Structures are given as C-alpha cells and as structure tokens.
DNA sequence: ACACCCTCCTGGAGGC
DNA sequence: TGCCTCCAGGAGGGTG
C-alpha cells in the first residue's frame, strides 16, 4: 500500500519522465476512478494539455497540467505505470482503469486491483488536499511542533498518527515501524508522552521515512514503481508483518493486535502497555 | 472530542 | 480439486 515514501518515489520518477509530454488521448475504463468528472468531460479537459511537473502532498500525487492539476490517490493497491510505448499486456489488463496516451505513443497506466484509487482534476489542488496536516519531512515539523500536535489532542497514538489531517502521508506500515523504533505502545494517549518520547518519535519517524524513500519504498505484495520495479524497504521492517518472529532489539516475539480497525504490530517488551495510572493522574477532574 | 462501525473492492489464504 | 468464508485496509461518512 503506497504511503509517503512510495508516493514520493513515484513522484520523483514521474517528474523525470512526464514534464514536456502532451496528453493525446484518454481512456477511462472504470468511471468511479474519476472523483470529479465524468469520462467525457475528463477526456476533453485533459487532451492537449502538457505536463509541467510531478510532486507529492501527503499520499497524493500532484501532476501539474496547466491550467489544471491532476491529483491521484493510489489508496491500497493503485499503481501508476509509465512506458515509452504501448504494452499489449497492460492495454488489455482488466485492472487498468485509466490510460493516458502521450507524445510519441508513450503511455501512463493506472492499475488498481481493488479500485479504491481516485483521480481528481481541479484548477486548485487546495480543494483536494487543503485539509491535510503537516508534512512529516518538512523542516517545519520540529519536535516542538510535533509535541504541539500530540498534546493538543487526547487520542490513542496510532489512530492519531494515521489521521491525515494531523500528519500527511503516514500509513499503517510506517506508523507501526516508527512506534517500535521510538519504543512507544500504539495505545499510548497522545497527551501523556514525555519530551524524550516525542524527541524519539520525531527522530525515528523521519529517519524511517527517509530510509524507505532511499530504498524505493516497501513492496509487500502489490506495490511497484512507475517502471514496474519493486521497492527494497521490506527487508528493513522491524515489526510490520513480522508477528511471531523475534524483536530485532530484545528477541521477544512480535505480537499483532487490532487498533482502530487496523492490524498493529509491536514488541510487548520494548513497547510496554501504558499504565492506566498516568491517565487518571492527568485528569482527576470528574463531571458533577 | 473521540471511538467505533460501515462502505467501497478483489485476490489470496484457510477450512473442510 | 473446489467451494465457501474471511480478511487486508485508506478515507469518508454516520452514529453514539
């Protein structure tokens, strides 16, 4: 499932290929892929436009096609595949829902087994990504800013970190990895973290995201880069998908549980369950 | 404010 | 071998 590192890798790869290319034709095979248009208006809006740049915001790909922006969210199983010539296998693939024909017969395919991915065509990207929180790798995300985001809420840490309105781009894999690296239990209440824990979380979160980008992302099953390449970060995972295997730090078997309807992987020794005492101490006031 | 559940989807895995 | 059921989960919506 593409999260920040995978989307960042895809954006960089496409930014080296798409700028200067003009859209010659558009084929929509699954209408609901289009979040903002019907196939006819989508096609007539895009045809003749030229790519200017490709970037990322959270888990959204931002494809600049003046005067429009084409925003793509890959959700669970979405893939973008670029090739300099039409590929019969891809043209006929039943999971290809969108095909852009470019200059010199190049192709950009949107492939999505579960059909959750969405494409948004807009003049103003803020209409789509305006509610996203801070970028985890931005210089603005200092330990102090992270502390402010965490302490202004009283939520379980895992669902908070997954909330795109707070931090933009984190998904299930990297949240589990970051919490393990910082030795924090996923159910810990956000306002109970110490300065030291927040510093650990800040540092490890950013390190893991940078490593994963450098590794071309994590390929567990479906993820591929725009040239069909797999990522390599799956070999560096400490907890995600490792239930029943030894913790890389202490040797205890990694456990899997469910938090906020999401599979959650952690080390029961390195990430001890937060004690109830902290919370009751912190909120002694009761309703009257 | 926050937790919880449902919906969208399909392929893969497990049970028998 | 084959059929059936369950499960994974990002995001948005509704409910309590």
Side by side, which strands form the sheet with A118-122?
Answer: A53-57, A60-65, A68-73, A118-122
For CA atoms A174, A186, A128, A76, give the dihedral sign. Answer: positive
Preceding peptide of A67 cis, ω within 30°: yes
Apex A158 CA angle, A156 and A161, nearest 5: 105
Report yes or no: A145 and A179 within 8 Å, Cβ to Cβ.
no
pLDDT digits (tens, 9 = 90+) for A145-181: 999 999 999 999 999 999 999 999 999 999 999 999 9
pTM of the model: 0.93
Q: Which of A149, A147, A173 is nearest to A59 (CA)?
A: A173
Residue A288's pLDDT is what? Answer: 29
Between A11 and A276, the more confident residue is A11
Q: Find the Å distance, CA of residue A118 to C1' of nucleotide C7.
A: 23
Res A279 pLDDT > 50: no
Distance in angstroms (rounded) separating the CA atoms of residues A59 and A9: 11
Q: What is the mean pLDDT of residues A120-141?
A: 96
Distance in angstroms (rounded) separating the CA atoms of residues A250 and A257: 19
Q: What is the mean pLDDT of residues A257-268?
A: 93
Report yes or no: A121 and A45 within 8 Å, Cβ to Cβ.
yes
Q: What is the mean pLDDT of residues A29-33?
A: 95
User: CA dihedral in degrees (A276, A277, A283, A288; nearest 10)?
Assistant: 80
Q: Which helix (H) or strand (E) holds A24?
A: none
CB count within 10 Å of CB A16 equals 11
- A262 catalytic? Reply is yes
Nucleotide nearest to A190 (CA to C1'): B2
Q: Find the Å distance, CA of residue A14 to C1' of nucleotide C4.
A: 42
- A64 catalytic? Reply is no
């Amino acid at each position: 499932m593409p999260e920040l590192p995978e989307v960042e890798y895809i954006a960089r790869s496409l930014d080296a290929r798409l700028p200067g290319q003009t859209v010659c034709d558009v084929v929509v095979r699954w209408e609901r892929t289009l979040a903002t248009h019907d196939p006819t208006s989508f096609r007539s809006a895009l045809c003749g436009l030229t790519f200017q740049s490709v970037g990322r915001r959270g888990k959204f790909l931002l494809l600049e096609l003046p005067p429009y922006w084409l925003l793509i969210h890959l959700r669970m199983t979405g893939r973008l595949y670029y090739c300099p010539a039409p590929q019969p296998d891809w043209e006929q693939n039943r999971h290809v829902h969108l095909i852009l024909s470019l200059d010199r017969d190049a192709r950009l395919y949107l492939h999505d087994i579960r059909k959750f991915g969405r494409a948004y065509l807009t003049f103003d990207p803020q209409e789509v990504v305006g509610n996203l929180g801070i970028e985890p790798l931005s210089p603005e995300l200092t330990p102090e800013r992270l502390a402010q985001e965490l302490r202004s809420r009283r939520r379980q840490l895992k669902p908070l970190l997954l909330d795109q309105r707070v931090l933009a781009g984190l998904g299930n894999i990297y949240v589990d990895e970051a919490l393990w690296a910082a030795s924090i239990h996923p159910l810990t209440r956000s306002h109970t973290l110490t300065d030291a824990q927040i510093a650990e979380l800040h540092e490890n979160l950013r390190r893991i995201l940078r490593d994963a980008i450098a590794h071309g992302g994590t390929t567990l099953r479906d993820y591929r880069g725009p040239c069909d390449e797999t990522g390599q970060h799956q070999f560096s995972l400490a907890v995600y998908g490792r239930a029943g295997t030894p913790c890389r730090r202490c040797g205890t078997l990694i456990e899997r549980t469910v938090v906020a309807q999401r599979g959650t992987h952690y080390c029961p020794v390195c990430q001890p369950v937060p004690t109830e005492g902290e919370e009751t101490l912190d909120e002694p006031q009761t309703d009257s």
